[in-house]
């Protein structure tokens, strides 16, 4: 029996660059003491207070079908949070609650791309971006950034790909590069959207993890609210990765059609998860800062470990929970280095190539283990890189 192209072509053929990750997972399953610095999962779990709210809601009976667009109170608190943080008027009708940011990314592209449409995204990129775009039958088109430009997309690179495109997906703070887009970059992005009549899909799931500069939501730029779909998530901000809860903030007509999509796909997010999210957001920014604090610390520790040598180099991450390390001085590519590091030091990192050609010759390190173990692993990584470069 033949499966639909829509599903068989999601991954686009070829390696997805995750071989090292799966190999490390297999080694762990076989009992090897691997230090995992691979995926973006906090080393703390969801807080007991949030779990308490979840428990109370479930025990209180919110276990039936929940409101498909999201509960009124959750949509409202998300709208208020966005209005406060960005200064843009936002109502509950601009918000759809989704099963995490990933479901939001899929829904957003489904809303704006027809099959065959060109959908731009920035390279390096979060690993699911091209396949998410392909799963809506649009055509993913990368826009390259470079380490020399601190991985900020330039007006020229954007303009070169924008003709005949329908959408542009951006991510600031960025996974994997740690770049936080400057005002100038955001203005260039807004300009290319205006000039080419593009929808902008702005993935802001790391907006609480800013180490340098300030988070700027492009929806706040003149004229952009009408063409921007913001993707938000509780995964990173509140260590709720497994709860699968996030949102899309978009113009009302977009939200209306996305409610139809949700009705025919997820049929909404579990009510007790929504209530836990409502409780969590009601705790205000102090909780978010506490969840982000370990990554801020480890980002500074990273720069201390890397000081005084130039075999492993990093642009200081401006945000998010990763550092992208340039290991080109070893003469190896990211994949070869990550494989060799796993074998020699039992440290698992992601090859840059998993995040696109623009990240070749780099590795991504997730700062997701406790400070002392993190520093020790990074020191071993640097020493190992030196031996490769000899």
**Least distance in angstroms from the C-beta of 134 to ligand PMP:** 16
* Residue 356 engages ligand PMP in binding (rule: CB under 6 A): no
Instruction: Give the span between the Cα atoms of 376 and 142, in whole angstroms.
Output: 36
Q: 96 forms bridges with which residues in the sheet? A: 248
Q: Which is nearer to ligand PMP, 132 or 330 (CB)?
A: 132
CB of 262 to ligand PMP, least distance (A): 15
Site residues for ligand PMP, 28-87, by CB under 6 A, read 40
Residue 135 in the binding site for ligand PMP (CB under 6 A): no
Single out the segment in contact with ligand PMP by CB under 6 A; choices: 19-27, 100-108, 308-316, 361-369.
100-108
Map residue 1 onto helix, strand or coil: coil
CB 190 within 8 A of CB 221: yes
- Residue of the chain from 54, 77, 180, 205 that contacts ligand PMP (CB under 6 A): 205
- Shortest distance (Å) from residue 108 CB to ligand PMP: 11
CB of 81 to ligand PMP, least distance (A): 16
Cα distances from 108 to residues 74, 81, 127, 154, 355, in angstroms, run 20, 20, 17, 24, 21
For the bound state, the minimum distance from the C-beta of residue 305 to ligand PMP, rounded and expressed in Å, comes to 24
Q: Name which position in 241, 318, 330, 368 contacts ligand PMP (CB under 6 A).
A: 241
Which of 101, 218, 319, 356: binder of ligand PMP (CB under 6 A)? 101
d(CA 37, CA 166): 36
Contact between 102 and ligand PMP per CB under 6 A? yes
With contacts defined by CB under 6 A, name the span among 99-107, 189-197, 260-268, 338-346 that binds ligand PMP. 99-107
* 260, 233 contact by CB (below 8 A): no
Q: Could you give the CA distance from residue 3 to residue 11 in angstroms, rounded to a whole number?
A: 14
Q: Which is nearer to ligand PMP, 102 or 330 (CB)?
A: 102
Report, in Å, the least distance between residue 15 CB and ligand PMP: 20
Helix/strand/coil (H/E/C) assignment for every residue in 309-338: CCCCEECCCCECCEEEEECHHHCCCHHHHH
Q: Would residue 361 be called left, alpha or beta, if left means φ above 0 and alpha means ψ between -120 and 50 degrees?
A: left
CA distance 22 to 40: 15
Residue 139 near residue 118, CB atoms below 8 Å: yes
- Cα(25)–Cα(365) distance, rounded to whole angstroms? 16
Question: Residue ranges of the alpha helices (H) in the chain?
Answer: 5-8, 19-29, 48-59, 72-86, 100-112, 129-135, 155-162, 183-196, 234-237, 252-263, 271-282, 285-306, 334-345, 371-389
235 touches ligand PMP (CB under 6 A) = yes
State the Cα–Cα distance between residues 1 and 237, nearest whole angstrom. Answer: 44
User: Is residue 203 near ligand PMP by the rule CB under 6 A?
Assistant: yes
* Region binding ligand PMP by CB under 6 A among candidate stretches 4-12, 28-36, 97-105, 160-168: 97-105
- Residue number, 219 or 328, with CB nearest to ligand PMP: 219
Asked if 178 interacts with ligand PMP (CB under 6 A), we say: no
- Out of 21, 106, 121, 126, name the contact with ligand PMP by CB under 6 A: 126
Question: Least distance (Å) from ligand PMP to the CB of residue 82?
Answer: 16
Tell whether residue 246 is a contact of ligand PMP (CB under 6 A).
yes
Rounded Cα gap, residues 388 and 341, in angstroms:
10
- Residue 175 found at the interface with ligand PMP (CB under 6 A): yes
**Contacting positions for ligand PMP (CB under 6 A):** 40, 100-102, 126, 171, 175, 203, 205, 233, 235, 241, 246
């Amino acid at each position: 029996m033949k499966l639909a192209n829509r599903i068989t072509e999601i991954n686009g053929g070829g390696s997805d660059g995750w071989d090292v990750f799966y190999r490390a997972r297999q080694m762990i399953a076989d009992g090897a003491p691997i230090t995992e610095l691979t995926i973006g999962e906090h080393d703390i779990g969801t807080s007991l207070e949030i779990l308490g709210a979840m428990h109370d809601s479930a025990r209180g009976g919110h276990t039936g079908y929940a409101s498909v667009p999201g509960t009124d109170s959750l949509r409202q608190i998300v709208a208020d949070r966005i209005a406060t943080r960005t200064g843009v008027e936002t109502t509950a009708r601009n918000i759809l609650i989704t099963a995490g940011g990933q479901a939001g990314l899929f829904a957003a592209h489904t809303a704006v791309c027809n099959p065959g449409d060109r959908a731009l995204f920035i390279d390096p990129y979060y690993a699911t971006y091209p396949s998410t775009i392909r799963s809506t039958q649009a055509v993913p088109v990368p826009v390259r950034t470079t380490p020399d430009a601190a991985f900020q997309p330039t007006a020229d690179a954007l303009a070169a790909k924008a003709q005949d495109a329908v959408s542009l997906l951006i991510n600031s703070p960025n996974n994997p590069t740690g770049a936080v887009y400057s005002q100038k970059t955001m203005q260039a992005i807004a300009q290319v959207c205006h000039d080419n009549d593009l929808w902008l899909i702005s993935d802001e799931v790391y907006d609480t993890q800013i180490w340098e500069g300030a988070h700027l939501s492009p929806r706040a730029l003149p004229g952009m609210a009408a063409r921007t779909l913001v993707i938000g998530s509780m995964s990173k901000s509140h260590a709720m990765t497994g709860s699968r809860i996030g949102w899309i903030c978009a113009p009302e007509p977009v939200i209306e059609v996305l409610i139809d999509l949700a009705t025919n796909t997820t049929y909404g997010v579990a009510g007790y998860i929504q209530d836990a999210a409502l409780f969590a957001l009601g705790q205000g920014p102090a909780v978010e800062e506490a969840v982000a604090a370990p990554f801020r610390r480890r980002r500074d520790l990273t720069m201390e470990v890397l000081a005084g040598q130039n075999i492993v180099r990093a642009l200081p991450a401006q945000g998010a929970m990763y550092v992208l390390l340039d290991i080109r001085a070893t003469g190896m590519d990211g994949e070869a280095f990550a494989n060799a590091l796993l074998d020699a030091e039992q440290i698992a990192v992601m090859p840059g190539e998993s995040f696109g050609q623009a990240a070749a010759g780099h590795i991504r390190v997730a700062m997701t283990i406790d400070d002392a173990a993190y520093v020790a692993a990074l020191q071993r990584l640097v020493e190992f890189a030196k031996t490769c470069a000899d």
